Amino acid sequence: MNLTLKVWRQSGPSDAGRMVTYRVEDVSPDMSFLEMLDVLNERLIVEGDEPIAFDHDCREGICGMCGMVINGVAHGEQRATTTCQLHMRHFEDGATITIEPWRAAPFPVVKDLVVDRSAFDRIIQAGGFVSVPAGSAPDAHSVPVRKEDADDAFDAATCIGCGACVAACPNGSASLFTAAKITHLGLLPQGQPERLSRAKAMVDQMDAEGFGGCTNTGECTAVCPKGIPLDAIAQMNSDYLKANAK
């Protein structure tokens, strides 16, 4: 296949950035999207140009490091798929593909398609944990957990922290990310003692980072590679309201 890529190039945070067009030829349909970019980058290096910087690591859809907006959709149009797991067979020969970074003020661009997502770490720091020092835990079987609760908690816990929800949200909200952790821990007995304080602290931190508010558009869950359900946000809202009522 032959493709035309329109890629966002930005040399650093102070650069304004622009779209640059590249031709990529002889793309195999079995390539992953990132492998296609690898091929282009190899060519750019040999030609003495700067290759396109993008984040990636595990390339098996679990680390959450990769992410780009492809043709206007976070991680591309294939559902429940990270960018690294997207393959070129889903594109037409001769197609033009637009590639942009996650765009959100709390995710400043570091270079090209690389953004700084440390805001997510700070949201977790605000309360996304159970306070239990190593060595102090009771026997694992001392507290049974209803299977349904364990399963629902797991669904929320599968979040990979990639930031696609923020990228897709018309409001630039981080609600799905924040809610996933609040829901995961809030559904388990181990997470109960800190449940409301956690919700309040994490939501307040999310707001302080400059993310937008949630208007329940559902764009986040539609692009989420792990399909984190939207009702996590309802759970977050409920816990947050209760925490504020106290």
Which helix (H) or strand (E) covers residue 218, if one does? none
CB 146 within 8 A of CB 214: no
Q: Mask: binding to other proteins, 4-33, rule CB under 8 A, as x and -? A: --x-x--xx----x-x--------xxxxx-
- Taking the least distance from each CB to other proteins, the nearer of 94 and 114 is 114
Query: Which region holds residue 227: left if phi is over 0, alpha if psi is between -120 and 50, else beta?
Result: left
236 binds other proteins (CB under 8 A): yes
Query: Which region holds residue 75: left if phi is over 0, alpha if psi is between -120 and 50, else beta?
Result: left
243 binds other proteins (CB under 8 A): no
Candidate residues 3, 113, 153, 202; the one interacting with other proteins per rule CB under 8 A? 153
- Taking the least distance from each CB to other proteins, the nearer of 94 and 140 is 140
157 binds other proteins (CB under 8 A): yes
Window 167-186: residues binding other proteins (CB under 8 A): 168, 170-173, 184-185
Single-letter residue type at 142: S
Q: Which residue has the tokens 């990636």?
A: 56
Residues contacting residue 39 through CB under 8 Å, at least 6 positions apart: 24, 27, 31
The residue among 242, 227, 60 whose CA lies nearest residue 154 is 227
CB 178 within 8 A of CB 166: no
234 binds other proteins (CB under 8 A): yes
Q: Mask: binding to other proteins, 203-222, rule CB under 8 A, as x and -? A: -------xxxxxxxxxx-xx
193 binds other proteins (CB under 8 A): no
Candidate residues 5, 22, 225, 235; the one interacting with other proteins per rule CB under 8 A? 235
Window 99-118: residues binding other proteins (CB under 8 A): 100, 103-106, 110-111, 114, 116-118
Which helix (H) or strand (E) covers residue 233, if one does? helix 231-245
73 binds other proteins (CB under 8 A): yes
Window 34-63: residues binding other proteins (CB under 8 A): 34-36, 38-39, 42, 44-46, 48-51, 53, 55-63
The residue among 53, 59, 67 whose CA lies nearest residue 20 is 53
CB of 155 to other proteins, least distance (A): 9
246 binds other proteins (CB under 8 A): no
85 binds other proteins (CB under 8 A): yes
95 binds other proteins (CB under 8 A): no
Q: How far is CA 184 from CA 126, 137, 152, 192, in A?
A: 15, 19, 8, 11
Write out the two tokens for 38: 């690898």
